[in-house]
């Protein structure tokens, strides 16, 4: 079975719910276990494991929803890679410049969001180290409350008209894929 488009709204919501649950558990263990007072204790270990699991859920969701996105689990390497691409983008070499510019268009927003998130998290850590976990837990909860628009797939029909279909439509796996048709707005052969 091939994957067409992004995750269905129900699957996206399930991953978001899992991430929210993990982050809420991190907050509870951190506050109730006084992790900052005993950073080598068992509560700290549980907090680290839960937080790592929440990051894994976020990383998986990002890759399933935004093909070609950088891994959120290795942002230092992504930042170095982006700097190299930025240097290539300002070079005069045609092919390198074009490829680098395309890469930067895909990742700069994600990296900017990551760096902004780091700055906000650092500010919250300065205020209260245990309760700082309330920020990601609350953010994940708000995302769950947000009404998501189901991803759509643009299909060129036999009559020459483009039509929008939900990517989670069960019939999507039966749509013909011939030269000249479009998948997710991209022409393919």
Res 31: pLDDT: 94
Residue 79's nearest CA partner among 62, 98, 104 is: 104
Coil vs helix vs strand at 153 = strand
**Residues 1-38: tens digit of each pLDDT:** 334 455 677 888 888 999 999 999 999 999 999 998 99
**Residues 113-140: tens digit of each pLDDT:** 888 988 998 999 899 888 999 999 999 9
Whether residue 159 is predicted with pLDDT greater than 50 in this model: the reply is yes
Res 47: pLDDT: 94
**Residues 52-84: tens digit of each pLDDT:** 999 888 888 877 776 666 666 667 677 778 888
Residue 104 exposed, middle or buried by CB count within 10 Å (0-12, 13-18, 19+): middle
């Amino acid at each position: 079975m091939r994957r067409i488009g992004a995750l269905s709204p129900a699957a996206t919501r399930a991953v978001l719910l899992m991430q929210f649950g993990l982050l809420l558990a991190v907050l509870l263990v951190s506050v109730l276990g006084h992790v900052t007072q005993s950073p080598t204790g068992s509560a700290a270990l549980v907090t680290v494991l839960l937080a790592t699991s929440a990051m894994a859920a976020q990383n998986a969701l990002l890759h399933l929803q935004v093909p070609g996105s950088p891994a959120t689990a290795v942002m230092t390497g992504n930042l170095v890679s982006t700097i190299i691409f930025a240097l290539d983008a300002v070079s005069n070499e045609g092919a390198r410049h074009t490829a680098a510019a395309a890469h930067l268009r895909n990742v700069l927003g994600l990296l900017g969001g990551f760096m902004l998130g780091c700055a906000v998290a650092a500010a919250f850590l300065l205020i209260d180290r245990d309760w700082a976990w309330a920020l990601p837990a609350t953010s994940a909860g708000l995302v769950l409350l947000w009404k998501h628009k189901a991803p759509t797939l643009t299909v060129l029909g036999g009559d020459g008209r483009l039509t929008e279909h939900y990517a989670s439509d069960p019939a999507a796996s039966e749509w013909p894929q011939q030269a000249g048709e479009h998948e997710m707005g991209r022409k393919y052969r």
